[in-house]
Structure 1
Amino acid sequence: MNKQYGCYLIDLDGTIYRGEKTIQSGVDFVNRLNEKKIPYLFLTNNTTRTPEMIVAKLASHGVITDVDHVYTPIMATVSYLLEHNPGTDAIPVYIIGQIGLWKGLLAEDRIVLDNNNPKYVIVGMDTDLTYKKICIATNAIRKGAEFIGTNSDHVLPSGDKLLPGNGSQCAMIAVASDQKPFFIGKPSAVIVNYALKKIKKNIEESLIVGDNYETDIMAGINCRMDSLLTLTGVTTKKQLAEEKIQPTYVLNNLDEWQL
């Protein structure tokens, strides 16, 4: 019998779906949470989609939810920028990313686009990444802009493939700028703490659920939060056996989890 938790932070890619493929055990798990009215947030590192797009994506896999149940590094980045710039009229940023990141950041009136003298360079997943974008980001960071990476995922699950992720993009810019990024998304404690603040829950009563040891499980470890690894995505049993710190729980899939 596992511990009963009052809140769940749930990963998406590799947990609820994998590319266009539905992971039915993940879908059924969320449906059980809804039935029992147990609070949860989808805690994703994906910044390419808006919350509305994520809700639509989930619906296509059989999960009916709303934007209030979605939390992304974009939201955490906005909170971080506002928290660290109190009383400032404008926060100039340079953005590398896709529609989710652009819309999420610029929806906040105080965050403004500045390609010439940004205070922050914010890098999210960009499948249209160009050499010019890298040059602008690198030069700005070398001039003193703070380098923020929305997440450090080296790879992204897509069907049966693993594709380069934002961590790989950030690594290139880090080498060119001689500056390591400050990561907001999992496994950073930053996004977890902001997520818990949103849902008004604490670490002791919460469980983080995901398929990736390096992001989902390490986020739990970094926050001293219990964690559950489902073997439906990135991390395999063989890879897990090599880790010194183990998740609180390891399951083949989420059908095995008791609520």
Structure 2
Amino acid sequence: MTSVVRDQLRTILRRVRGIAFDMDGVLYRGERPLPAAAALLAELAERGIGFVMVTNNATKTPEEYAAKLSRMGMTVPPERIVTSAIATRDWMRQRYRPGTTVYVLGMTALERAVYDGGYFVRAERDAQVVVNGADFALTYEKLKIATLAIRAGADWIATNADRTFPSEEGLIPGSGAIVAALQAATDRSPIVIGKPEPAMVLRAADILGIAPHELLMVGDRLDTDILAGRRAGAATALVLTGVSSLTEVQASAVRPDIVIDDLQVLLEAVRGEEA
């Protein structure tokens, strides 16, 4: 860590009271934890620095994410994990009446978030609302059902518009790839709930009981994590272990407060180490 980066990080850490982490590409890639992630979370917990996970990935429930992190040596309670599926459900319940018919094009976690509790009614061709997220079992039939409902006038909500997300194999299609297919088929665009909209970052600040400007948003994507953090009024740190590169940072109008190679750099700053 250069002295410039070290000093910048120390300045940021002095003015924040909590951290929001994206997960894919920040804490892990697929099932492989990234360097220093577990050590950093343990250090933050030991020092009483609160943290929350905010992920656009709607393929798992908070409980499933908590179990995944635990397998990697990271202890995070489900109530400290905000997914775009949960954010989408909360947004919908503020705007639609009980009994509204909904078609979900996504994984089981998204279906559970929308349908559990019976507030919304499962539907297909007669759906009043279509909700989509990433779907690892995507079929033409699912795209067809969603397309017909949207063309018939259904509202369309996307948990997020991330075109890709990082895995052990590299970047793979995300929810945004499905959004692109449905846009091509319907000539419509969805309402997008997840990052870069600021709601999830603001929710993280609420969970920690701090103001947005007292939060540091750590992510690997300029167009979602960093932009959401800036829109929420949080400090932002881009880590170069996921999607966005230093070249993209230099060419982008979206600028993080700091760019770091990996979480080891942040760990050293939290510990006050010279490197």
Normalised to the residue count of structure 2, the TM-score between the two structures is: 0.88
Deviations 1:89-129 (A, max 9, x none): 31211001111111122123212211132221000111111
Question: Within the alignment, does 1:7 sit opposite 2:18 as a pair?
Answer: yes
Once residues 47 and 98 of structure 2 are traced to their aligned partners in structure 1, the CA distance between those partners, rounded to angstroms, is 44
Q: Which amino acid aligns with 1:215?
A: T
C-alpha separation between the residues in 2 aligned to 1:10 and 1:75? 16
1:67 to 52, 58, 78: 78
Question: What's 2:129 paired with?
Answer: 120
CA gap of 1:119–1:201, structure 2 versus 1, over 3 A, is: farther
Do structure 1's residue 94 and structure 2's residue 103 form an aligned pair? yes
Contact 1:78/1:108 (CA < 8 Å) preserved in 2?
A: no
Letter in 2 for 1:71: V
2:161 & 2:260 partners in 1: Cα distance? 24
Structure exhibiting the larger radius of gyration computed from Cα positions: 2
SS of 1:214's equivalent in the other structure is: helix
Alignment counterpart, residue 183 of structure 1, candidates 192, 199, 223: 192
Matching residue of 2:273: none
- For the aligned residue pairs, the C-alpha RMSD in angstroms reads 1.5
Identity %: 32
CA separation in 2, counterparts of 1:8 and 1:171? 32
Corresponding position of 2:182: 173
| Counterpart-to-counterpart distance in 1, 2:205 and 2:102 | 26
In structure 1, distance between residues paired with 2:98 and 2:171: 41
Rounded Cα–Cα distance in structure 2 between residues aligned with 1:198 and 1:74: 17
Q: 2:238 aligns with which of 229, 238, 241?
A: 229
Q: Look up the equivalent residue of 1:248 and give its one-letter code.
A: D
Distance in 2, matches of 1:175 and 1:201, equals 42
What is the identity, as a one-letter code, of the residue corresponding to 2:75?
I
Gaps of 5+ in 1: none
Q: CA deviation at 1:18?
A: 0.9
Q: How many angstroms apart in 2 are the aligned matches of 1:182 and 1:196?
A: 23
Shift of 1:151: 0.9
Q: 2:27 is matched with which residue: 16, 30, 33?
A: 16
The answer on whether the counterparts of 2:61 and 2:83 sit within 8 Å (CA) in structure 1 is: no
Contact 2:86–2:113 (CA under 8 A) maintained in structure 1: yes
* Greater alpha carbon shift after TM alignment, 21-30 vs 160-169: 21-30
Deviation of 1:250 after TM superposition, in Å, equals 0.9
The CA deviation at 1:34 is 1.0
The verdict on how the C-alpha distance between 1:105 and 1:243 changes in structure 2, with shifts beyond 3 A counting, is same
Matched length: 257
Deviation at 1:198, TM superposition (A): 4.1
Q: TM-score, normalised by structure 1?
A: 0.94
Rounded Cα–Cα distance in structure 2 between residues aligned with 1:63 and 1:176:
41
- 1:133 aligned onto 2:133: no
Match for 2:90 among 76, 79, 82? 79
Cα offsets for 1:118-176 (capped at 9, x unmatched) = 22100011111111111111111112211111111111111141111110111110121
Which residue in the other structure is 1:55 paired with? 66
